[in-house]
Amino acid sequence: VSDDIRNLLRALAEQVNAQLPSALQRLGGPERLREAMAYTLLAPGKRLRPALVMLAAQAAGGEHSAARSAAVAVEMVHTYSLIHDDLPAMDDDDLRRGRPTCHRQFDEATAILAGDALLTGAFQILAEDYPPKTASLCCLELARGAGSGGMVGGQADDLAWERQRGPGAPATVADLEQVHSRKTGALFRACVRLGAIVVQGEQTGDSLSRSLSALDRFGRFFGLAFQITDDLLDVEGDAESIGKGVRKDAARGKLTYPGLIGADQSRKKAGEAIQTAMQAARELGMNGEPLVALAGYLLERRQ
Ligand code: IPE
Ligand code: IPE
Ligand code: MG
Ligand code: MG
Ligand code: MG
């Protein structure tokens, strides 16, 4: 199973990688800004979110190709979030996707602007590439997942907990689940919903809402499990294979699963979230099988 899913992920990553340079080209802009955008966007990321967009399109009964532009848009938003996440005012990291972080390679202002441009560019791609009704539904979905009620809100929570660390601010697993669901779960949820929307297009009604509700649950729990495994990799992984610094979370006083409940309990929580995600994907029938397999692969990931 693992080998199949690895091959599938590689093939989907190739599809999205083939689209990224021309999408960037279309956004235009001054040379140094474009270089900074390309520097982190084209660096070797796993392209997991784009893969989810395409696999969700398949689960909703469509073709991967229908979801390509949505996949590109999501990768742009994700990459912006990484560039900003690494800034000195946030996690202050030096290594990303196996390279110096964007602000290290260029400068802080350029990294901030490269992030801004990738974020806005994502909405341009959606608006240019889909018919108006589909485009507006996609923009809505992505804005909700990425904005203050989703990822940005989760990043704000993440930093707030970091700054309140120590006695007087005892966190609970429920607090942590909320941080992770927002900062990571919300964008994963948007990914799978986008996949369904580009396939169903102008349609509404029962079949769309049935697949949306299963995909929604899949995305939320997959995202939660993904962030738990990210926290575990910070503790147990090596910088070489994950392409970013390790042992940073505890040093910064981050609220993380292994920090709060230990590695074993964290693996258990990730396992539970994965089971819930798998169950949701099974409701999608045959077309949902790759999503089931992808969820199963999460616990074994080493990068
Ligand atoms: C890192 O995401 C940020 C988190 C939400 C944990 P990925 O691990 O998907 O990063 P890339 O895209 O492969 O670099
Ligand atoms: C980042 O979480 C989540 C984002 C929204 C970018 P982390 O701060 O743990 O991600 P890494 O470990 O730096 O990739
Ligand atoms: Mg962070
Ligand atoms: Mg970080
Ligand atoms: Mg992390």
48-66 pLDDT, tens digit per residue, is 999 999 999 999 999 999 9
Residue 42 has which token pair?
A: 């084209």
What are 96's strand-pairing partners?
99
Q: Cβ < 6 Å from ligand 1: which residues?
A: 45-46, 48, 78, 97, 184, 227, 230
Instruction: Say how many Å lie between the CA of residue 136 and the centre of ligand 4.
Output: 31
Q: Determine the 3-state secondary structure of 85 from DSSP.
A: helix
Enumerate residue ranges in the chain where pLDDT < 70.
1, 165-169, 202-208
pLDDT tens across 285-302, in order? 999 999 999 999 998 888
Instruction: Say how many Å lie between the CA of residue 13 and the centre of ligand 1.
Output: 14
What's the confidence (pLDDT) of residue 72? 98
pLDDT tens across 94-131, in order? 999 999 999 999 999 999 999 999 999 999 999 999 99
Which mutation among 85, 184, 188, 229 tests ligand 2's pocket best, with the greatest number of atoms within 8 A of CB?
Answer: 85
What's the confidence (pLDDT) of residue 1? 62
Instruction: Say how many Å lie between the CA of residue 227 and the centre of ligand 1.
Output: 9
Residue whose entry in the numeric block shows the structure tokens 């309140």: 164
Q: Are 237 and 302 in contact (CB under 8 A)?
A: yes
Which mutation among 42, 46, 227, 297 tests ligand 1's pocket best, with the greatest number of atoms within 8 A of CB?
Answer: 46
Pairing of β 95-96 and β 99-100:
antiparallel
What's the confidence (pLDDT) of residue 2? 80
279-287: long-range pairs with CB below 8 Å, 24+: 280/214, 280/215, 280/217, 280/218, 280/221, 281/59, 281/214, 281/218, 283/214, 284/59, 284/60, 284/211, 284/214, 284/215, 287/58, 287/59, 287/60, 287/61
Q: Which of 64, 61, 82 is nearest to 72 (CA)?
A: 64
Instruction: Say how many Å lie between the CA of residue 11 and the centre of ligand 1.
Output: 18
- Amino acid at site 276: T
Q: Cβ < 6 Å from ligand 2: which residues?
A: 81-82, 85, 91, 93, 151, 155, 183-184, 230, 244
Instruction: Say how many Å lie between the CA of residue 246 and the centre of ligand 3.
Output: 13
Cα dihedral angle (157, 77, 111, 25), rounded to 10 degrees? -170
What's the confidence (pLDDT) of residue 202? 62
Ion ligand 5 neighbours, Cβ < 5 Å: 230
Instruction: Say how many Å lie between the CA of residue 207 and the centre of ligand 1.
Output: 32
Q: Determine the 3-state secondary structure of 281 from DSSP.
A: helix
pTM above 0.85, yes or no: yes
Q: For the chain, give the longest Cα–Cα distance.
A: 53
Closest ligand 1 atom to Cα of 97: 14
Ligand 1 atom 14 nearest Cα? 45
DSSP assignment letter at 43: S
Closest ligand 2 atom to Cα of 86: 13
What's the confidence (pLDDT) of residue 207? 67
- Residues written for the chain: 303
